[in-house]
Amino acid sequence: MTHANRFALMLEALTELAVEETSSRQTPPTIAQPSLREILSLSAPLPREALFLGLAEDGLPVLLNLRDPIPGPLLVTGDSTSGKTMLLQTVARAVELLHTPSDVQFAVISSHPDEWTEYQEYQNCAGIYPSDNSSSQDLLFSLVSWAHNNKGEKQSVLLLIDDFESATRFSREAVQNLRWLLLRGPSRQVWPIVTLNAGRAKNVDEWLGFFRTRLFGHIQNADDTKFATGLSDIALDDLIAGSQFTMREGNNWLNFWIPASD
Nearest-5° Cα angle at 185, 179 to 189: 165
What integer is the mean pLDDT of 176-191? 97
Give the model's pLDDT for residue 25.
43
Share of residues in the chain with pLDDT > 90 (%): 79
Q: What is the CATH number of the domain that holds 39?
A: 3.40.50.300
| Cα–Cα distance, 145 to 45 (Å, whole number) | 33
Residue pLDDT, tens place only, 156-166: 999 999 999 99
Residue pLDDT, tens place only, 81-130: 999 999 999 999 999 999 999 999 999 999 999 999 999 999 999 999 99
- What is the total count of domains within the chain? 1
| Cα–Cα distance, 111 to 168 (Å, whole number) | 12
Give the model's pLDDT for residue 185.
97
Assigned domain for 262 exists: no
Assigned domain for 208 exists: yes
Q: How confident is the model at residue 37 (pLDDT cuts 50, 70, 90)?
A: very high
In whole angstroms, how far apart are CA 159 and each of 28, 65, 189?
A: 39, 15, 10
| Cα–Cα distance, 224 to 29 (Å, whole number) | 32
Q: How confident is the model at residue 1 (pLDDT cuts 50, 70, 90)?
A: very low
Would the pLDDT of 15 be above 60? no
Residue pLDDT, tens place only, 128-155: 999 999 999 999 999 999 999 877 678 9
Contacts of 233 (CB under 8 A, 6+ apart): none
DSSP sequence for 87-133: HHHHHHHHHHHH--TTTEEEEEEES-GGGGGGGGG-TTEEEEEETTS
Give the model's pLDDT for residue 91.
98
Would the pLDDT of 8 be above 70? no
Residue 22, SS3? Answer: helix
Q: Is the pTM of this model over 0.85?
A: yes
Give me the chain's average pLDDT, please.
90
Give the residue numbers spanning the domain of 164.
Answer: 3-257
Question: Shortest CA distance to 57 belongs to which of 257, 215, 258, 259?
Answer: 257
Range of lowest pLDDT (18-32, 116-130, 180-194): 18-32
Range of lowest pLDDT (17-21, 51-55, 154-158): 17-21
Assigned domain for 144 exists: yes
